[in-house]
Amino acid sequence: MRFLILLLFMNGVTMTQDWANLNKYKKQNSKLGPPKINGNRIVFMGNSITENWSELYPEYFSEKDYINRGIGGQTTPQMLIRFRADVIDLKPKIVVILAGTNDIAGNTGPATVKMITDNIISMAELARSNRIHVILSSILPAADYPWNPGLNPPEKITAVNNIVKKYTERNGITYLDYYSSMVTSNKGLKKEYTYDGVHPNRSGYELMSSLADKAISETLDLIGKSE
């Protein structure tokens, strides 16, 4: 019995110490070689919406040098902690950042719009300082969160998206607008694109892939013009 209690305690300590889940992709990262010369390695940083993309629409990642570094449930401070290990050290040409909805849901405690956007902007600045081009994504619409209902997320989602969009416009960064193509009249996620009102289904990922490819193409064009 004492051994069981000790084991549970040690597991809890381990999880607490790896709050940002740095170990999740540690082995995969170590096996990645350098990007191909003249290649277009792209890292997708995010939460479960990004992580599930590889499961529900796997061909999007398998056919290109796209690396999925989404972790379910994560908030922007957790992503910021692992940004070096899971993005910068992989030396991509572009990073696509999709973050913020779990902050609004309160997954790691209360978060203001400023806290969320500050963390997103910090990730963008870290990338740019390491010569990684940035695509900042809108948060997907959500009328409510099934695991934490009653928070009225549309107001914060709109506020975060507006600030992020203005930041991209001021800094010459590509803004990837999923929101406008997926939102309903009540500011929820269109039923044909989701299975729970928050997470995309395969149809949702097909749309997101098309929008992401357009944003990536635009960014690569900008890179080509600047080189």
Q: What is the pLDDT along the chain (227 residues), one digit of tens a residue?
A: 444 344 444 444 445 689 999 999 999 999 998 999 889 999 999 999 999 999 999 999 998 999 999 999 999 999 999 999 999 999 999 999 999 999 999 999 999 999 999 999 999 999 999 999 999 999 999 999 999 999 999 999 999 999 999 999 999 999 999 999 999 999 999 999 999 999 999 999 999 999 999 999 999 998 987 76
List all residues 6 or more positions away from 117 whose beta carbon is below 8 Å from its beta carbon: 100, 160, 163, 164, 167
Domain residue ranges in the chain: 33-226
**CA 205 – CA 76 distance, rounded (Å):** 22
Q: Report the Cα 197 to chain-centroid distance in Å.
A: 18
**pTM, 2 dp:** 0.91
Note the CATH architecture for domain 33-226. Answer: 3-Layer(aba) Sandwich (3.40)
